[in-house]
């Protein structure tokens, strides 16, 4: 696994370290030891799959409050997404900064999202599937959200969503 720092503290882009031959390639997509060597303590307790029928479907920006904050490793296994994280950690020097990256089934990159971040994505292709590894179990009642288009954060999405849930449409603005 190859780790690349982002503009927000503690979040990492993870690229595959491919071992290629005439058959194709082999690569590790998750390794607790390699994550630890990169400074990440991550214990996966749950895995989720998000299937999205339509291009420009938006899911986010979601997070869980303490003590149920969750770290994630997100990977697009079919199609493409523009994946966005937003630092909500009050003691962070990158508080309220966001980072976005295209994850797709061609570049096979993953994004490590630390605890204390809001997370969301916009699909860039029909029939997109996103795989998540979670450090915490989903806890009903602890989920929160931030408006995807809140001018306070000024997230630059590659397109406006065509499909989004009522809940995601109605999260309050920060100010």
Please list the active-site residues: 62, 132
- Which two tokens mark 19? 């071992």
- Which two tokens mark 58? 């938006």
Residue-wise DSSP of 48-99: EEEEE-STTEEEEEEEE-TTS---EEEEEEESEEEEEEEE--TT-TTTT-EE
Q: Are 36 and 82 in contact (CB under 8 A)?
A: no
How far is Cα 27 from Cα 16, in angstroms, rounded to an integer?
6
Q: Could you tell me how far CA 4 lies from the centroid of its own chain?
A: 15
How far is Cα 111 from Cα 91, in angstroms, rounded to an integer?
22
How far is Cα 36 from Cα 85, in angstroms, rounded to an integer?
21
């Amino acid at each position: 696994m190859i780790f690349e720092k982002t503009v927000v503290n503690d979040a990492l882009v993870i690229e595959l370290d491919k071992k290629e031959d005439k058959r194709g390639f082999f690569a590790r997509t998750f390794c607790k030891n390699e994550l630890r060597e990169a400074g990440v303590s991550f214990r996966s307790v749950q895995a989720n799959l998000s299937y999205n029928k339509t291009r420009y479907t938006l899911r986010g920006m979601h997070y869980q409050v303490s003590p149920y904050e969750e770290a994630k490793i997100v990977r697009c296994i079919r199609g493409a997404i523009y994946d966005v994280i937003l630092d909500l950690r009050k003691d962070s020097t990158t508080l309220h900064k966001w980072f976005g990256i295209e994850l797709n089934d061609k570049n096979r990159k993953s994004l490590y999202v630390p605890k204390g971040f809001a997370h969301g994505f916009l699909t860039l292709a029909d029939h997109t599937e996103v795989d998540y590894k979670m450090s915490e179990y989903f806890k009903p009642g602890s989920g929160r959200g931030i408006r995807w288009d809140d001018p306070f954060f000024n997230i630059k999405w590659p397109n406006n969503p065509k499909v989004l849930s009522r809940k995601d449409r109605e999260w309050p603005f920060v100010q």
